[in-house]
Amino acid sequence: MDSCDRPILLQGWRESPLNGIGFLAGFYLTMVACLAAIILIFGTAQKLGPKVNRMMLGVSAIALFCFGLYQLWLGLFQGGTI
């Protein structure tokens, strides 16, 4: 198995266990910080009124729709044979 085929966590662990633990801790700290930021943003957006909430919901729906179309396009035209 080539070193490029291994997951990043295992590559770091094989270099030094401290590298693997640092990668894992950094990943989870980033994930928790981003989720906390999203909760704070949407919690304060609630105080801005229903018009802003409706606008944010519309933007989110359009973004998710576009992302879904992109994923379908990748799956149908870039994915190979079924």
Question: Consecutive sets of 10 residues in the chain, 82 residues long: mean pLDDT of each?
Answer: 77 93 96 94 84 88 96 85 53
Count CB atoms within 10 A of the CB of residue 23.
Answer: 17
Cα–Cα distance, 68 to 66 (Å, whole number): 5
pLDDT of 45-66, one tens digit each? Answer: 888 888 888 888 899 999 999 9
User: What pLDDT does residue 80 have?
Assistant: 58
The span from the first CA to the last CA of the chain, in angstroms, equals 26
* pLDDT at residue number 66: 97
HEC-encoded secondary structure of 19-36:
HHHHHHHHHHHHHHHHHH
User: CB atoms < 10 A from the CB of 29, how many?
Assistant: 10
- The C-alpha atoms of residue 11 and residue 39 are separated, in whole angstroms, by 33
